[in-house]
């Protein structure tokens, strides 16, 4: 009986690696949660192998890299409050999700919806119900965030493949 091959994680996507490296973001790996820490200005990601494929990893990284663009010395984006569960936090998460979609499209990635999307939908709906222009604001801010990443990528002499 032939031996089964040991699990081999999906290979990293070279142009996506180059794209995120060019941002200059402090990206740390470990643990089981992905988040951006605005106080310390770093992106925390679970290990690459914890994801169900390379595209899932880069989609989550794109989501976390979008709020990173709002940090000091970059776009300095801020919504009122921005505490977990409030309208400012929901708005930043909406920007992050739209920004991740823009970045994934730029990189030619087709990520699947994540389980945590359902957790945010209620908060997004509240924001959108209270402010009929919120989706336009979020999309505009997400476009600015994606453009910020594109500029840094181009400045580092990387190119679209």
Mean pLDDT of 152-161: 60
Model confidence pLDDT, tens digit, residues 23-53: 999 999 999 999 999 999 999 999 999 998 8
Which pLDDT does position 36 carry in this prediction?
A: 94
Q: How confident is the model at residue 62 (pLDDT cuts 50, 70, 90)?
A: very high
Query: How far is residue 113's CA from residue 152's CA, in Å, rounded to a whole number?
Result: 27
Which pLDDT does position 41 carry in this prediction?
A: 95
Which pLDDT does position 143 carry in this prediction?
A: 92
Which pLDDT does position 100 carry in this prediction?
A: 93
What's the whole-number average pLDDT of the chain? 83
Model confidence pLDDT, tens digit, residues 10-22: 689 999 999 999 9
Which CB contacts under 8 angstroms, 24+ apart, belong to 40-49?
Answer: 41/68, 41/71, 41/72, 43/68, 48/9, 48/12, 49/9
The answer on pLDDT for 73 being more than 70 is yes
Q: Where are the domains of the chain?
A: 14-155
Full-model pTM: 0.80
The residue among 54, 50, 52, 82 whose CA lies nearest residue 67 is 82
Paired tokens of 11: 């290979």
Mean pLDDT of 81-87: 62
């Amino acid at each position: 009986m032939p031996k089964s091959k040991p699990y081999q994680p999906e290979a990293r996507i070279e142009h996506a690696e180059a794209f995120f490296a060019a941002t200059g973001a402090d990206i740390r790996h470990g643990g089981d949660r992905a988040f951006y820490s605005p106080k310390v200005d770093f992106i925390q990601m679970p290990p690459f192998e914890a994801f169900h494929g390379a595209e899932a990893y880069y989609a989550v990284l794109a989501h976390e890299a979008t709020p990173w663009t709002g940090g000091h010395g970059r776009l300095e984006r801020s919504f009122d409050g921005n505490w977990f569960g409030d309208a400012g936090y929901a708005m930043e998460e909406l920007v992050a999700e739209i920004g991740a979609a823009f970045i994934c499209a730029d990189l030619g990635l087709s990520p699947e919806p994540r389980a945590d999307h359902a957790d945010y939908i209620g908060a997004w709906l509240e924001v959108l119900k209270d402010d009929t222009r919120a989706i336009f604001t979020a999309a505009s801010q997400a476009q600015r965030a994606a453009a910020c990443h594109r500029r840094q990528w181009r400045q580092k002499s990387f190119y679209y493949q």
